[in-house]
Amino acid sequence: MLIDGIKVRGITSNFRRVRKDYVFVAIREENRDGNNFIDLAIQKGAIIIYTERDIHKKNCIIKKVGNTKKILAELCNEFYDYPSDKFFVVGVTGTSGKIRTANLIHHIVNNYGVKSGMIGNLNIKIGEKKYPIKPATLATEDIYFYLNKMAEEDIKIVVIEVSSYRLKHEKVHGIKFDVAIYTNIKEDYPNFHETIDSYVKSKKKLFDNLRTGKIALVNYDDKYALDMLKDSDSILVITYGLGSKSTVNASSIDIGFITSFNYCLQRGITTLSGIGIEPFEHPIVSNLLRNHDIYNALSAITACLLLDVPIGGIVSAIR
């Protein structure tokens, strides 16, 4: 990758990772200010520094920008040749349910024979391989590194747990999501959000950044559902819930050792590849699901339908 005609060999916001001919992006976060490590980064071989401050250094190019967090994502995206262009990407956000929903989607798609990847808060999955990570430590450059690794391994579908932390700190900035799933918002939000309004605003960024014609899959029973969709007229909206007004709902719910319900698609939808699916109802029987999983199952099943997994393949995966 060339920046101003200079070949760069890597990009990082962690001065410990800097090597010769690297770009160092100085990011300020709650407990760390990357600007304090600029001199160390230069000593380790950084040739270009991005910062939001007025800084002048010898033997190094300094670029002042308005938002280093966004710049880091944009640089990584270009460095890895825009990996999210090479597969379908599903993002899942919400206070609870996002881990379960993301894992269900990954499991169903893999079980159907389509090689998929997942970027979670606890691990990375590429097909059947799993890479453990520490919560909240995955840097923007790590996310893009794994997206590129997935592209190199010919992954077709990627599911990403999109936490409010990742959204607030622009860690998924630049990723082209095809489907964005909203589970719910609860009052016990993370303490790095000062107010519930700040928390909701962070979650909404996932839907604000959806491109025209892409799909928002939203829990219509949650009181913040409509907040996610404000000023989002250019995207397609599919709602799910237990009420009759949702595009997708569940009926005949029976919770026990084995959970069963009828999955009801109440109006036609079109898959990401352009195939139409007419309204239908289909029984679901599973020993993987619990009471609170009905919502997660509705969103995961719908997402997999949008990804061209037929209902028969979905049923066999979660039975």
Last residue of a domain, one of 37, 52, 79: 79
Looking at residue 285, its pLDDT comes to 94
Q: Are residues 48 and 132 in the same domain?
A: no
Query: Does residue 303 share a domain with residue 187?
Result: yes
Which of 79, 98, 123 is a domain's end point?
Answer: 79
Are 29 and 48 within one domain? yes
User: Looking at the structure, do residues 133 and 176 belong to the same domain, yes or no?
Assistant: yes
Residue 189 has pLDDT above 60, yes or no: no
pLDDT tens digits for range 101-122: 999 999 999 999 999 999 998 8
Confidence class for position 190, pLDDT limits 50, 70, 90: low
Residue 8 belongs to domain with CATH number: 3.40.1390.10
Q: Give the other-Cβ count within 10 Å of 284's Cβ.
A: 22
- Whether 10 and 152 map to the same domain: the answer is no
**Residue 12 structural domain:** 2-79
Q: What pLDDT shows up at residue 193?
A: 63
* CA within 13 Å, CB half, 163: 17
- 141 and 237, same structural domain? yes
**19 and 155 co-located in one domain:** no
Cβ atoms of residues 223 and 244 within 8 Å: no
Instruction: Report residue 313: phi and psi, to 5°.
Output: -65, -35
Q: What is the DSSP string of 185-239?
A: --S---TTSSSHHHHHHHHHHHHHTPPTT-EEEEETTSTTHHHHTTT-TTSEEEE
- Average pLDDT rounded to a whole number, residues 254-270: 94
- Segment 77-93, tens digit of pLDDT: 999 999 999 999 999 99
Q: What is the pLDDT of residues 31-64, one digit of tens each?
A: 889 999 999 999 999 999 999 999 999 889 999 9
Phi-psi region of 113 (alpha: psi -120 to 50; beta: other; left: phi over 0): left
Question: Using 50, 70 and 90 to split pLDDT, how confident is the model at 198?
Answer: confident
Cβ-proximal residues to 120 (8 Å cutoff; 6+ apart), any chain: 99, 102, 103, 133, 161
Nearest alpha-carbon partner for 129 in 139, 116, 144, 138 = 116
Mean pLDDT of all residues in 191-207: 83
Q: Are residues 54 and 157 in the same domain?
A: no
Tokens linked to 280: 């239908």
| DSSP 3-state percent helix, strand, coil across the chain (nearest 5) | 30, 30, 40
Give me the amino acid identity at 119.
Answer: I
The CATH number covering residue 187 comes to 3.40.1190.10
Distance linking the first and last C-alpha atoms of the chain:
47
pLDDT of residue 136: 65
* Average per-residue pLDDT for the chain: 94
Average pLDDT over residues 235-249: 96
Could you give the angle at the alpha carbon of 222 between the alpha carbons of 249 and 283, nearest 5°? 15
Last residue of a domain, one of 17, 52, 79: 79
Instruction: Give residue-wise pLDDT tens across range 131-167.
Output: 988 766 799 999 999 999 999 999 999 999 999 889 9
Quickly state the pLDDT bin for 192 (edges 50, 70, 90): low
Are both 6 and 152 inside the same structural domain? no
Residues 238 and 309 in one domain: yes
191 pLDDT tier (thresholds 50, 70, 90): low
Say whether both 224 and 265 belong to one domain: yes
Strand partners, 217: 181, 238
| C-alpha closest to that of 38 among 30, 28, 270 | 28
Residue 58's Cβ-count burial label (10 Å; 0-12, 13-18, 19+) is: exposed
31 and 97 housed in the same domain: no
Burial class (CB within 10 angstroms; exposed 0-12, middle 13-18, buried 19+) of 29: exposed
Q: Give the mean pLDDT of 295-303.
A: 97
pLDDT above 80 for 243: yes
Please state the rounded mean pLDDT for residues 291-309.
93
Total number of domains in the chain: 2
Mean pLDDT calculated for residue range 283-290: 86
